[in-house]
Structure 1
Amino acid sequence: MDATWMQWLRGFVTIRVRGQAIERLVNEALANGLQLWSIRRAKEGELQCSTSLNHFFRLRPLLKRTGCRLHVEHRQGLPFWLQRMRKRVFFAAGLVLFFVGMYLLSSLIWSIDVKGNAKLSEEQILQVAKSEGLYPFQWSFRLEDTVVLSKRLAQKLPGTAWVGVEKRGTHITIQVVESSIPEAKPPMNPRHLVASTDAVVTKVMAESGRPVVKRNMRVKQGDVLISGLLGDETNSKTVVAKGVVKGIVWHEYDIVSPLAKQSKVYTGNKKVIWYGVAGGRALQVSGYGKNPYAMSESIRQEEQASWRTLKLPFGRMKETIMEVQIQQQTVSYEEAKAEGIEQAKADLLAKVGPDAQVLAENILHEKTENGKVYMKVLFEMDQSIAIERPLVQMQGE
């Protein structure tokens, strides 16, 4: 039978009894109301059992009458534990202080994150949260319920549709959903849409205003495409011309494409350096020495120490230095030409807009010199050609 928790509180001992009258000793002890449990034969002439601390001292007269002797093997229970703690008072005090400190640290708010804000600054949101008692190193038990905090922050933060406050351990997350208010557009003056360059018109679609050109018409730079002037000389009205006009435009482009390319590759050699991080400072603890590689790249990974959900203000950082080499790769003449033309197309589309389309390209001139391919290419593109011009300028002409 194992000891109960009451017996542990009072204290108990495990003893070994030897002598010629062990059975008589056990019978007299039980007859006198002494508690003995876990009784078993240890070896010939010996018996092992457990008894409570107060009944242990009542065994002495019985031992004298029966001529038995005993030896204490184990001492267990609260009295013995307290006695050992008195001998290690500093250890016990440190243990108590450790648990008290961990409780206090886990009761603090260590960090606050703000998410979802675009128009409102993080400083403005944190300032309003501080006015509600929500700030780093605040006691968590002094905070209002997160539902109450969410409502108060939403009332004090202008332009917010919803504010949520989520608490996870020692970390607070403030999620902000801002109201979407359409921007007020400034009033527009009457205007024409005119050609930005010489072109052949391929598409005309007027939202407002009067179309002046038609498909397949050739226009020059500055020609009116959609007029903002409606009516005739006696009855006219000016409007803001809106619409889409596209046309075929020719672009002459000088291309230089190398016959050899350089690429960066990793050799697989690397060096690892470890740092101890505390209070925003890093102290190197391993991987001393200079960088052994002529060319290299480094990657840093920081790990913050934590205890359960509590993030501690220290950790470690791993820096991996990897050796790199530059390799030369020869490109054929046709590959260099194709790569140069594709790069030129990408540049043109970036300049004239993503809705443009390259219809054709004609190589006017090409040559090879100093390990490079030189070309002059004429691109035929279908693109938007309409730009705005105020009607005031037309009246002044």
Structure 2
Amino acid sequence: MQFALKSTESIQKTLTDRMNNITWVGVELKGTTYHLTVVEKNEPEKEEYVSPRHLVAKKKAVIQRLVVDEGLAIVKLNDYVKKGDILVSGNIGAEDKPQLVAAKGVVLAETWYTTEAELPLKSEIDVLTGENKTMYRIGWKDTSIPIWGFWGKDYQRETVEKNTSSFHFLGMELPITFTKQVIHESELGIKTYTKKEAKDVLFKLAREDVLSKVSDDATIKKEKILHERVENGKVKVTIYYQVIEDIAIAQPIVQGD
């Protein structure tokens, strides 16, 4: 009995016609075995549907840069806007024939922040002596039992580092914990600052506070001390910041707007 094998060209055409997700297929016959080489289609991902919307200001600001990917720009460079003002409209049609889209873009604007900070010129701090001990504990619900390292002398003053891990079984978290505690002996020390050193620390703390309130791509354009004074052994400052940030947020378009 003989079997008629299809030609490689026939197999290649059949696979290409029937499989929509490939660009090309190569077929090679070696003995009684076919070897296939497949090149898949590199189709772009379909964009997720976004309902019609405007981009509005999330706070008062002065426009510095406007990049519109979709929609109609309502504001221009150096415009002052208030919270809720439309920056990019999702209505790109005529008044009598509206055409609604999902507005997209970036609206960089100058915003303003004022923050207050204070720091004692002299303060008590814990200074580590270098002595430490490690303790391990097993916990069950609200109960914790030491299993290792609970012997040895107690420190009069100490700083504790704690790391707790939980146990899982078949994807479920069990009410059992394992805790490692590193207990460092410490002594009371005194930290003193000059007025300049205190101001440098306060500048850093205030800057971190402002940046924690804005997006990661925001930048500080200008910072200035408005007030500074020494009162009751503390340096107190009020600092003004000009920040460049994206102020655009989406606002869905309700039919009839």
Shorter-chain TM-score tier = 0.5 to 0.7
Query: Which residue of 370, 374, 388 corresponds with 2:232?
Result: 370
Higher strand share: 2
Residue number in structure 2 paired with 1:110: none
Change (3 A) 1:359 1:262: farther
TM-score by length of 1: 0.42
Whole-angstrom distance in 2 between the partners of 1:388 and 1:320: 48
1:222–1:394 Cα change, 3 Å: farther
Report the number of matched residues: 189
1:235 aligned counterpart, secondary structure: coil
Q: Helix, strand or coil: the match of 1:335?
A: helix
Structure 2 vs 1, CA of residues 392 and 380 (structure 1 numbering), >3 Å: closer, same or farther? same
Partner residue, 1:212: 74
Q: Please state how far the C-alpha of 1:394 moved relative to its aligned partner.
A: 7.6
Note the alpha carbon deviations across 1:253-287, whole angstroms, 9 max, x for none. 22222223444332234568899xxxxx8766x98
Cα deviation, residue 218, structure 1: 1.9
Identity %: 36
| Residues 135, 146 of structure 2: 8 Å contact kept | no
Tell me by how many angstroms 1:336 deviates: 1.2
Residue matched to 1:229: 91
Distance 2:256 2:123 in 1: 53
CA distance in 1, matches of 2:146, 2:247: 58
Amino acid at match of 1:361: E
Greater helix content: 1
Structure 1 unmatched ranges of 5 or more: 1-183, 276-280, 301-317
Aligned-residue Cα RMSD (Å) equals: 3.3
1:358 aligned to 193, 199, 220, which one?
Answer: 220
3-state SS, counterpart of residue 229 of structure 1: coil
- Rounded Cα–Cα distance in structure 2 between residues aligned with 1:257 and 1:208: 48
User: Which residue in the other structure is 2:156 paired with?
Assistant: 294
Say which one has the larger Rg. 1
2:198 is matched with which residue: 336, 343, 349?
336
Distance in 2 of aligned mates of 1:187 and 1:389 = 15
Which structure ranks higher in relative contact order (CA pairs < 8 Å, sequence separation ≥ 6)? 2
Residues 372 and 274 of structure 1: CA distance in aligned 2, closer, same or farther (over 3 Å): closer
**CA 1:393–1:324: 2 relative to 1, 3 Å:** farther
Deviation at 1:215, TM superposition (A): 1.6
For residue 220 of structure 1, report the CA deviation from its aligned partner.
2.1
- Structure 1's 382 and 287: CA in aligned 2 closer, same or farther, altered over 3 A? closer
Flag the 1:193–1:282 CA change in 2: closer, same or farther, 3 A: closer
Structure 2: how far apart are the matches of 1:274 and 1:374?
A: 43
Match in the other structure for 2:210: 348
- Cα offsets for 1:97-140 (capped at 9, x unmatched): xxxxxxxxxxxxxxxxxxxxxxxxxxxxxxxxxxxxxxxxxxxx
The gaps in structure 2 that reach 5 residues or longer are 1-45, 138-144, 163-179
| 1:387–1:289 distance in 2 versus 1, CA, 3 Å | closer
Taking a change above 3 Å as real, the CA distance of residues 290 and 205 of structure 1, as seen in their structure-2 partners, is same
Distance 2:161 2:84 in 1: 55
TM-score, length-scaled by structure 2: 0.63
